Structure 1
Amino acid sequence: MRILLLGAPGTGKGTQAKFIKQKYKIPQISTGDMLRENIYTKNKIGEDIQKIIKKGNLVSDEIVCNLIHDRIQKKDCKNGFILDGFPRTLEQCFYLSKNKIKIDYVLELILPYESILERISGRRIHIPSGRVYHVKFNPPKIKDQDDVTKELLITREDDQKASIKRRLEEYKKITYPLIEYYLNEKKINGIKFFQINTINSVLSVKKKIEEILKQ
C-alpha cells in the first residue's frame, strides 16, 4: 500500500499519517521531519535548509528528492509507505514517475485558510523529542514547558503568522498543477484520488480515511 498525502501546512497530514502507519504497519516518510532532523543535527544540508525556511521559502526539489531517494531504499518500505508532504511540485511528481515509484492512493487534505493560521501559529514544539503541543487544542501541563522534561517549548520560525502566509501562498501557486495532474491520472489511469476536509475532528477524519483505504 503506497499512499501519498497532500495538503497545505496545518491540514493534519502528519497526524493522519501516524494513524495509517499504526494500522497498516507501513513507514511514514515525512519530508518535514527529515528537514527538521537535518536542521537539528546542524549538518551542512541542515544549515542550507534553515536559511531557506527563514526566508519563508520552500526547500528546493533537489534537496527533498535526494532525501526521499535515500529513504525509500530502506527495507521497511518493501511492503509500502506513506509519503507525507511529498511531492509538492510537478518536478517532484515526475521524479516519482521517472523512478517507477507507484502510488496507489492520493489523499488531499483540505482546510479553510483561517483554520490553518490558527492551527499552525498555536503550535509549540519540544525539539529534542519532536513532541508537539498547541496552546488551544493540546496545551502542555505547564505553559511553554514540555510535559516530560520540563524543558522550554519553542515556536518554530516557520510557524510565525507572517511566514505561514508566505508558505500558504507559495504552496497554492506551486501545488495547484500537481493536484490537476493527479485528477487527470484518476481519469486516465484509475489512480485512487480523494479530497478530505479536515475541519472536523481528528478521529472523524481518521475514520473517513480508513473507509477510503478499504476501496
Structure 2
Amino acid sequence: MALNKIFRAVIMGPPGSGKGTVSARITKTFGLKHISSGDILRANINAKTELGLLTKSCIDQGQLVPDDVMSRLILSDLRGLDSWLLDGFPRTVSQADALDEACSVDTVINLNVPFQTIKQRLTSRWTHLPSGRVYNTDFNPPKVPGFDDVTGEPLVQRDDDTPETVTRRLKAYETQTEPVLEYYRSKGVLQTFSGTETNKIWPHVEVFLHRKLSFVKEQVA
C-alpha cells in the first residue's frame, strides 16, 4: 500500500508484547519506516556522538537517560523523514510533549497483552546482544537453534528474563507508561489492541491501519 500523504504512528506495549513482530508487519504492509529508539541509542553510543557518550555515561551509572537527551536523540533522527512508525519512544509525558512540539502523531497503537502471557514469552526469549535482535523459541525461533539468523553468532538468554525480574519490569513499564497512554487517549489518537497471540492481534491492527490510511487518502483527494 503506497502512502501519498505523511502518516506518523507510535507503537506501544510492554516488553514481550510482540511489538517487534507487529512493527515488522506494519513496515512490510504499509511502507512506514520503523524507527526504534533502541537502535538509535546503540548507533549513537557506537559512533561516540556527543549525545551517545552522554547516554552511555547514564547507562553505565545505572541511571535513566534524561528525557531531554532522549528527545534530542530521537527527534534529530526523525528530521527529514515523512511517514514513520516510532517504537520505544515516547516513554514519559515529557517525551510525548517534545514529540508533539516537533510533529503531529496520527495514531498510537497500544498492544495490551496479559502480564502472565508475557512472562511465559520472555522466559523463552533469546537475544543477539550486538544487534538487539530477539527470538522466541515458541513463536519466533531462529532458523538454527541458538544462533542469530543474520550473523550466525550465538544467542544468549538475558539475566533479566527471569520470572521475578520480568514481573518487576512489567510493573515498572505499567507505572511509567500509563500516563503516556492517558496523554494520547485524551488527544483521541490512542487505539488499543488486546489479546494473547500476536497472530490474532495483527489482523485487527492491519484492518485498523487500512481504514486509517484510506481516510487519509480521502482527505488528500
Q: Shorter-chain TM-score category?
A: 0.7 to 0.9
Q: Secondary structure at the match of 1:179?
A: helix
Distance change in 2, residues 1:143/1:23 (3 Å): closer
2: CA distance, partners of 1:160 / 1:63: 30
Aligned length: 202
Q: Which residue of structure 2 lines up, in the alignment, with residue 86 of structure 1?
A: 89
Q: Which residue of structure 1 lines up, in the alignment, with residue 30 of structure 2?
A: 24
Q: Secondary structure at the match of 1:83?
A: strand
Task: Judge conservation of contact 1:140–1:146 (CA < 8 Å) in 2.
Answer: yes
Q: Which residue of structure 2 lines up, in the alignment, with residue 115 of structure 1?
A: 117
TM-score by length of 2: 0.78
1: CA distance, partners of 2:166 / 2:207: 32
Alignment of 1:191-202 (within 5 A): 191=189, 193-202=190-199
Of residues 39, 42, 57, the one that matches 1:48 is 57
Coordinate RMSD, CA, aligned: 2.6
Gaps of at least 5 residues in structure 1 are none
Deviation at 1:211, TM superposition (A): 1.0
Deviation at 1:48, TM superposition (A): 3.0
Task: Judge conservation of contact 2:71–2:99 (CA < 8 Å) in 1.
Answer: no
Q: Which residue of structure 2 lines up, in the alignment, with residue 4 of structure 1?
A: 10
Deviation at 1:201, TM superposition (A): 3.8
Distance change in 2, residues 1:161/1:38 (3 Å): farther
Q: Which residue of structure 2 lines up, in the alignment, with residue 60 of structure 1?
A: 66
Q: Secondary structure at the match of 1:153?
A: coil
Gaps of at least 5 residues in structure 2 are 1-6, 213-221
Alignment of 1:176-191 (within 5 A): 176-186=178-188, 191=189
Alignment of 1:146-157 (within 5 A): 146-147=148-149, 149-157=151-159
TM-score by length of 1: 0.79
Task: Judge conservation of contact 1:61–1:92 (CA < 8 Å) in 2.
Answer: yes
Q: Which residue of structure 2 lines up, in the alignment, with residue 104 of structure 1?
A: 106
Task: Judge conservation of contact 2:18–2:198 (CA < 8 Å) in 1.
Answer: no
